């Protein structure tokens, strides 16, 4: 059984590639089914956030790194579209390295904002979706549960999550800086997803301005108005006749840019450029809109740069978290190895028990004849326990030594060898 993770993130700095392999929410379940079949995977969790896409998988038969990557590229580029990327724009981890990466990701150590809590919830949602679709079996179930347990331990034993910073909070801070104390200015929030909810909470809590909720379906926008106040408008009407706004925060699931130069030209002229925050993948604002004098664009790469200060600030706590993850990976790998190694010792254990019982039966019959059945059984039970400890202790020691010594492991190879021994 090979466990692996293949994906790309904002750290690879190829946003176009990240956009390309992000599956549209409207057809997500169907496309993930197709992806699992196309890649020939046994188990699959598809994790997609605003700064990463990862395929977390298992395979019964280990394969080369290039085979899965080639199938992945064929799947997402079957429409004939062209996009420049390099092999290192993807990362591919297997076995022990993949376990380490998974634990780090779910614990937010791979996030733009180290310590943010959103990624844990996003992984949990992806895991639950995979469970519901029947894509998770024994291995991913065990790994996902352990990753969430490690995340809880890090939040409990370090202060890395203090401050509750996230992409949404960083973006909200940009709006606050942009308005510079101006009151009662309108801020448009575009989309109906989790990010819009987070934006609305930050803006209303800080009393930054009046909210205008924009969505393709105005009924969904109205639900935000009921919860947070403000007003609503359909995306179509907003694009055709935009109201006076000082900031636009957009995070839709649309597969193409929805705001372009034509929209920027229609914006009512105000005393300063409109702050446009784009947290969508693919982007909601077209590339050429950055040249418009009425727009100041902040997107995910810009926020990535601003998040570096957060990483330096939490360097010590991240070190503590890394030690927790290192210990958790060691314990997990060691336990899996022990499970794989034990069958090798099981045959020897059964043979030893049979020899011991035969010897004791002979002893009780010929030399120690004074013991009754209860006393004989007590002695047999004690000997069985001693042999059991002696037989299986080496598997524990060996698995621990291997977990420490190896940089990467394949548990199934051990399973195969144990099966052959048993035969």
- Kindly give the pairing relationship between strand 186-190 and strand 91-94: unpaired
197 pLDDT higher than 80? yes
What pLDDT shows up at residue 198?
A: 87
Q: Give mean pLDDT, residues 374-381.
A: 88
Across 7-11, 65-69, 248-252, 348-352, which has the greatest mean pLDDT? Answer: 248-252
pTM (2 d.p.): 0.68
CATH 3.40.50.720 describes domain 167-308: yes
* The pLDDT of residue 297: 95
- Model pLDDT for residues 261-303, shown as the tens digit of each residue: 999 999 999 999 999 999 888 889 998 998 899 999 999 888 8
Q: What does the pLDDT read at residue 67?
A: 86
- Neighbour count for residue 287 (Cβ, 10 Å): 10
**Residue 303, both tokens:** 């926020």
* Residue 165 confidence (pLDDT): 67
pLDDT at 344: 64
Asked whether the predicted pLDDT for residue 395 surpasses 70, the reply is: no
Task: State the pairing for strand pair 274-278/2-9.
Answer: unpaired
Give me the chain's average pLDDT, please.
Answer: 85
Return the pLDDT at 404. 64
Interval 202-212 mean pLDDT: 93
pLDDT at 65: 62
DSSP states of 85-108: --GGGSEEEEHHHHHHHHHHHHTT
Stretch(es) of the chain classified as CATH 3.40.50.720: 167-308
Return the top range by mean pLDDT from 78-87, 168-177, 304-313: 168-177
pLDDT reading at 410 higher than 80: no
pLDDT over 60 (residue 415) = no
Question: DSSP letters along 123-191, please?
Answer: HHHHHHHHHHHT---HHHHHHHHHHHHHHHHHHHHSSTTTT---HHHHHHHHHHHHHTT--S-EEEEE-
- Dihedral of CA atoms 351, 353, 359, 360 in degrees, nearest 10, equals -170
Would you tell me how many other CB atoms lie within 10 Å of the CB of residue 314? 24
pLDDT in the model for residue 303: 82
The model's confidence at residue 416, banded by pLDDT at 50, 70 and 90, is very low
> What CATH topology corresponds to 2-157?
Beta Polymerase; domain 2 (3.30.460)
Say which range, 45-59, 77-91, 264-278, 305-319, has the weakest mean pLDDT: 305-319
Q: Are 116 and 164 in contact (CB under 8 A)?
A: yes
Find the mean pLDDT for residues 375-382.
87
Residues of the chain with CATH 3.30.460.30: 2-157
What average pLDDT does the segment 184-197 reach? 92
Q: 91-114 burial string, b = 16+ CB within 10 Å, else e? A: bbbbbbbbbbbbbbbbbbbbbbbb
pLDDT at 418: 37
Q: Give the model's pLDDT for residue 124.
A: 96
- Least confident window among 79-93, 194-208, 308-322: 308-322
Q: Does residue 57 register a pLDDT over 90?
A: yes
The pLDDT of residue 348 is above 90: no
Q: What local confidence, expressed as pLDDT, does residue 304 receive?
A: 75
Mean pLDDT (whole number) for 110-137:
91
Mean pLDDT across 349-375: 85
């Amino acid at each position: 059984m090979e466990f692996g993770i293949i994906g790309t993130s904002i750290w690879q700095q190829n946003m176009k590639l990240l956009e390309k392999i992000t599956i549209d929410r409207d057809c997500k379940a169907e496309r993930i089914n197709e992806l699992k079949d196309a890649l020939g995977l046994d188990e699959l969790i598809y994790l997609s956030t605003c700064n990463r896409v990862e395929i977390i998988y298992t395979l019964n038969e280990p394969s080369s790194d290039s085979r899965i990557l080639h199938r992945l590229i064929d799947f997402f580029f079957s429409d004939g579209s062209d996009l420049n990327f390099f092999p290192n724009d993807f990362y591919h981890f297997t076995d022990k390295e993949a376990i380490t990466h998974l634990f780090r990701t779910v614990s937010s150590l791979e996030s733009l904002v180290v310590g943010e809590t959103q990624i844990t919830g996003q992984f949990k949602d992806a895991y639950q979706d995979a469970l519901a679709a029947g894509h998770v079996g024994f291995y991913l179930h065990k790994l996902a549960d352990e990753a969430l347990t490690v995340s809880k331990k890090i939040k409990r034993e370090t202060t890395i999550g203090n401050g509750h910073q996230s992409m949404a909070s960083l973006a909200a801070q940009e709006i606050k800086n942009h308005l510079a104390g101006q009151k009662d200015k309108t801020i448009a929030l575009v989309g109906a997803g989790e990010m819009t909810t987070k934006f609305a909470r930050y803006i209303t809590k800080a009393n930054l301005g009046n909210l205008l909720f924009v969505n393709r379906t105005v009924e969904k926008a109205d639900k935000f108005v009921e919860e947070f106040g403000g007003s609503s408008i359909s995306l179509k009407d907003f694009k055709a006749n935009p109201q006076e706004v000082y900031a636009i925060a957009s995070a839709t699931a649309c597969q193409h840019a929805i705001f372009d130069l034509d929209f920027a030209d229609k914006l009512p002229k105000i005393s300063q450029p409109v702050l446009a925050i784009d947290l969508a993948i693919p982007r909601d604002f077209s590339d050429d809109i950055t040249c418009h004098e009425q727009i100041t664009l902040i997107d995910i790469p810009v926020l990535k740069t601003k998040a570096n200060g957060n990483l330096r600030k939490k360097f010590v706590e991240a070190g503590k978290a890394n030690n927790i993850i290192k210990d958790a990976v060691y314990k997990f790998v060691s336990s899996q190895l022990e499970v794989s190694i034990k069958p090798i010792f099981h045959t020897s254990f059964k043979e030893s028990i049979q020899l011991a019982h035969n010897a004791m039966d002979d002893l009780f019959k010929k030399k120690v004849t004074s013991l009754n059945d209860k006393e004989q059984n007590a002695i047999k039970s004690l000997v069985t326990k001693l042999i059991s400890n002696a037989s299986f202790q080496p598997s524990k020691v060996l698995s621990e030594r291997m977990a420490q010594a190896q940089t990467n492991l394949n548990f199934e190879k051990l399973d195969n060898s144990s099966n052959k021994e048993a035969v």
